[in-house]
Amino acid sequence: MNRAQSVNLSSHVRPWLLLKNLCGPSPGWTLSELSEELGVSQKTVRRDLAQLQKSGFPIQQTVGTHGRKTWTCHSDQMLSKLNLTFEEAAALYLGRQFLEPMAGTVFFKAAHTAFRKIRTALTKETRQYLEQFSSMFHQTRLGSSDYRERGEIIDTLMIAIEDQQVTRLLYFSMNSKTPKEVVLHPYGLAYHRSSLYLVAFVLKYHEIRHYKIARIHDIEMSSEQFDKPDEFTLHEHLRTAFGVYQGSEKQYHISVRFSAEVARYVQEHHWHETQTLTPQPDGTLLLELQLSALEEFKSWILSFGAEATVEEPVELRQMVLQDLQNSLKKYAAHATPKQGGNTN
Range scoring the smallest mean pLDDT among 59-73, 91-105, 156-170, 226-240: 91-105
Please tell me the predicted confidence (pLDDT) of residue 195.
85
One domain for residues 277 and 310: yes
- Answer yes or no: is 59 within a domain: yes
Q: pLDDT tens digits, residue range 230-246?
A: 999 998 888 888 888 77
Q: What value does the mean pLDDT take over residues 287-315?
A: 95
Please tell me the predicted confidence (pLDDT) of residue 240.
85
One domain for residues 19 and 41: yes
Residues above pLDDT 90, as percent of the chain:
39
Instruction: State the CB neighbour count (10 A cutoff) for residue 248.
Output: 8
Please tell me the predicted confidence (pLDDT) of residue 341.
54
Please tell me the predicted confidence (pLDDT) of residue 11.
31
Question: Is 57 buried (19+), middle (13-18) or exposed (0-12) by CB count in 10 A?
Answer: buried
What CATH number does the domain containing 34 carry? 1.10.10.10
Q: Which of 210, 238, 266 is the last residue of a domain?
A: 238
One domain for residues 181 and 128: no
Please tell me the predicted confidence (pLDDT) of residue 275.
95
One domain for residues 25 and 52: yes
Please tell me the predicted confidence (pLDDT) of residue 204.
92
What CATH number does the domain containing 309 carry? 3.30.70
Secondary structure of the chain in HEC code, one letter for each residue = CCHHHHHCCCCCCHHHHHHHHHCCCCCCECHHHHHHHHCCCHHHHHHHHHHHHHCCCCEEEEECHHHCEEEEECHHHHHCCCCCCHHHHHHHHHHHHHHHHHCCCHHHHHHHHHHHHHHHHCCHHHHHHHHHHHCCCCCCCCCCCCCCCCHHHHHHHHHHHHHCEEEEEEECCCCCCCCEEEEEEEEEEEEECCEEEEEEEECCCCEEEEEEHHHEEEEEEEEEECCCCCCCCHHHHHCCCCCCCCCCCCCEEEEEEECHHHHHHHHCCCCCCCCEEEECCCCCEEEEEEECCCHHHHHHHHCCHHHEEEEECHHHHHHHHHHHHHHHHHHHHCCCCCCCCCCC
- Answer yes or no: is 143 within a domain: no
Query: Total domain count for the chain?
Result: 4
Residues above pLDDT 70, as percent of the chain:
81
Q: What is the sign, positive or negative, of the torsion defined by CA atoms of 322, 324, 325, 330? A: positive
- What value does the mean pLDDT of the chain take? 83
Cis peptide bond N-terminal to 313, omega within 30: yes
Between the alpha carbon of residue 305 and those of residues 114, 201, 259, 320, the distances in Å are 44, 36, 11, 10
Residues 77, 342: Cα–Cα separation, whole Å: 89
- Answer yes or no: is 165 within a domain: yes
Q: Which of 195, 214, 238 is the last residue of a domain?
A: 238
- Answer yes or no: is 279 within a domain: yes
- Answer yes or no: is 122 within a domain: yes
What CATH number does the domain containing 183 carry? 2.30.30
One domain for residues 226 and 270: no
One domain for residues 157 and 234: yes
Local confidence band at 12 (pLDDT 50, 70, 90 cut-offs): very low
- Answer yes or no: is 338 within a domain: no
Please tell me the predicted confidence (pLDDT) of residue 142.
64
Instruction: State the CB neighbour count (10 A cutoff) for residue 226.
Output: 17
**Nearest Cα to Cα of residue 98 among 134, 44, 48, 60:** 134
Q: pLDDT tens digits, residue range 170-181?
A: 999 888 889 999
Please tell me the predicted confidence (pLDDT) of residue 49.
87
Please tell me the predicted confidence (pLDDT) of residue 9.
38
Q: What value does the mean pLDDT take over residues 320-344?
A: 79
Q: pLDDT tens digits, residue range 73-82?
A: 876 665 555 6
One domain for residues 162 and 233: yes
Range scoring the smallest mean pLDDT among 71-85, 180-194, 316-330: 71-85
Whether residue 337 is predicted with pLDDT greater than 70 in this model: the reply is no
- Answer yes or no: is 243 within a domain: no
Please tell me the predicted confidence (pLDDT) of residue 325.
96
One domain for residues 225 and 174: yes
Please tell me the predicted confidence (pLDDT) of residue 10.
32
Q: pLDDT tens digits, residue range 91-134?
A: 777 777 677 666 666 666 677 777 788 778 777 777 776 777 66
Containing structural domain, residue 8 = 3-78
Most confident range (mean pLDDT) of 47-51, 142-146, 249-253, 258-262 is: 258-262
Whether residue 7 is predicted with pLDDT greater than 50 in this model: the reply is no
**Contact assessment for residue 285 and residue 278, using Cβ atoms and an 8 Å cutoff:** yes
Residues 260, 153: Cα–Cα separation, whole Å: 47
Residues 308, 59: Cα–Cα separation, whole Å: 57
Q: Which of 187, 211, 238 is the last residue of a domain?
A: 238
One domain for residues 305 and 326: yes
One domain for residues 100 and 25: no
One domain for residues 38 and 91: no
One domain for residues 124 and 159: no
- Answer yes or no: is 244 within a domain: no
